[in-house]
Chain A
Amino acid sequence: MRPGCRFSTSTASADLTAAQQPDPFLPRLYRVGRVRRELVDTTTLELAPLDGSRPTFEPGQFNMLYAFGVGEVAISISGAADANSFIHTVRDVGAVSGAIAKLKAGATIGLRGPFGTSWPVVSAQGADVLLVAGGLGLAPLRPAIYHVLANRPRYGRVAILFGSRQPKDLLYRRELQQWRQRLDVDIEITVDHADANWQGNVGVVPALIRRATFDPRDTIALVCGPEVMMRFTVSTLRDAGVSTDRIYLAMERNMKCAVGLCGHCQFGPTFVCKDGPVMRFDKIAEIFAVREI
Chain B
Amino acid sequence: MEGLDHILAEQPFFAGFSAEHSQLVAGCARNHRYDAGEYLFREGGPANEFFLIRHGQVALELVSPGQKPIVIATLSEGEIVGASWLVAPYRWMFDARAVALTRAIGIDAACLRGKCEADHHLGYEMMKRFLPILVKRLHATRLQILDVYGKR
Contact = CB atoms under 8 A, between A and B. Distances in A.
Contacts of A225: 148-149
A89 to B, nearest CB: 14
B132 to A, nearest CB: 9
Interface string B43-72: 000000000000001010100000111111
A206 interface: yes
A42 to B, nearest CB: 11
Interface stretch (B16-24, B80-88, B111-119, B136-144): B136-144
7 contacts: A135-B149, A165-B149, A190-B74, A192-B147, A193-B70, A196-B69, A203-B140
Contacts of B136: 207
A203 B144 contact: yes
Contact of A228 (B59, B70, B73, B143): B143
Interface string A123-137: 000000000001110
B147 A203 contact: no
Residues of B contacting A: mostly: mixed
A136 B97 CA distance: 30
A135 B150 CA distance: 9
Contact of A226 (B67, B99, B140, B148): B148
A198 B144 CA distance: 17
A165 B151 CA distance: 11
Contacts of B59: 196, 202
B13 to A, nearest CB: 12
Interface of B: 57, 59, 61, 67-74, 76, 97, 99, 136, 139-140, 143-144, 146-152
Given A225-B148, A226-B149, A204 B143 contact: yes
Contact of A196 (B57, B97, B144, B150): B97
A146 B67 CA distance: 40
Contact of A135 (B57, B70, B148): B148
Contacts, number: 72
Contact of A197 (B68, B72, B74): B68
Given A164-B149, A169-B149, A228-B143, A195 B70 contact: yes
B146 A228 contact: yes
- Please name the 4 residue pairs, one residue from A and one from B, whose CB atoms are nearest each other, closest first: A135-B149, A165-B149, A226-B148, A195-B68
A201 B92 CA distance: 21
Contacts of B69: 195-196
A199 interface: yes
Nearest to B77: A211
Given A134-B149, A232-B139, A192 B144 contact: yes
A288 B81 CA distance: 34
A8 to B, nearest CB: 28
B147 A211 contact: no
B140 A196 contact: no
A196 B68 contact: yes
Contact of A93 (B70, B71, B151): B151
B151 A203 contact: no
A103 interface: no
Of A169, A194, A228, the most chain B CB neighbours within 10 A belong to: A194
- A41, A93, A135, A199, most chain B CB atoms within 10 A: A199
A211 B71 contact: no
A134 B149 CA distance: 7
